[in-house]
Amino acid sequence: MKIRKAEDRGQANLGWLASQHTFSFGHFYDPDHMGFGPLRVINEDQVRPGAGFDTHGHQNMEIITYVLSGALEHKDSLGTGSVIEPGEVQVMSAGHGIRHSEFNASRDEPVHFLQIWVMPNEDGTTPSYDQKRFFDGGEKAQGFKLVASGSGREGSLTIGQDTDLYAGRFVAGERFTHTAEPGRLLWLQVVDGSLSVAGETLTAGDGLAVANEDVLSLDIVEDAHLLLFDMVP
């Protein structure tokens, strides 16, 4: 197990955008953190009201957007136009090429979200887009729910890689155990709260890389919001 502390992430502040990079991204280069298995990017972004990313292109990447607060407006070259809110998950398979823009949907409130990139198991596929609500705003603690996967099982959104993404909230004092198939990789991202794992404490923004461990046991210290990736190497 290896911890990636929140304060060690790359930082970018463009005025309209404040971003923290778990792995190398853009002008932030860290040869020791180029990704983990097929997981290539976890950016924690905060965008000022009315600002955003102008139309730009992507290829051969599975892009997952997870909004924490506020609302994010999305438009793409497939003709999709949508607003992503907390409790919803968006997936976009860039395939052989897609162009899109992302803007804060509010003129008054910032938007705070995670943008996640997973490398696909096949290049040059047909681009696609999907979005789904998994959590209601009133829900506080409901454990992990599968929100994206390579198989699309259990009502999850489908991505082009054998990677399962779970999201959920846990209450203080709860103990959670996740069992993975032998040889798979796990990455835990702490969105909020704190927990203890193998005697180490993780807090908001921290990540945990797990290899050669089939069972991950978490003790929740403070009410926590977590993401868990269960991936092929």
pLDDT digits (tens, 9 = 90+) for 123-142: 999 999 999 999 986 556 67
Annotated domain spans of the chain:
10-133, 143-231
61 φ/ψ sector (left φ>0, alpha ψ -120 to 50, else beta) = beta
Tell me which of 3.40.50.12170, 3.40.50.970, 2.60.120.10, 3.30.1330.80 is the CATH number of domain 10-133: 2.60.120.10
pLDDT, tens only, 73-123: 999 999 999 999 999 999 999 999 999 999 999 999 999 999 999 999 999
Query: In this structure, is the dihedral angle defined by the CA atoms of residues 67, 70, 75 and 79, taken in order, positive or negative?
Result: positive
The confidence band for 170, taking pLDDT boundaries of 50, 70 and 90, is very high
Tell me which of 3.30.479.30, 2.60.120.10, 2.60.40.1930, 3.90.1150.10 is the CATH number of domain 143-231: 2.60.120.10
pLDDT, tens only, 183-202: 999 999 999 999 999 999 99
What number of residues does the chain have?
A: 233
Structure-block tokens of residue 37 = 């298995």
pTM recorded for the entire structure? 0.96
53 strand-pairing partners? 102
User: Are 23 and 40 in contact, with CB atoms under 8 Å apart?
Assistant: yes
pLDDT, tens only, 18-39: 999 999 999 999 999 999 999 9
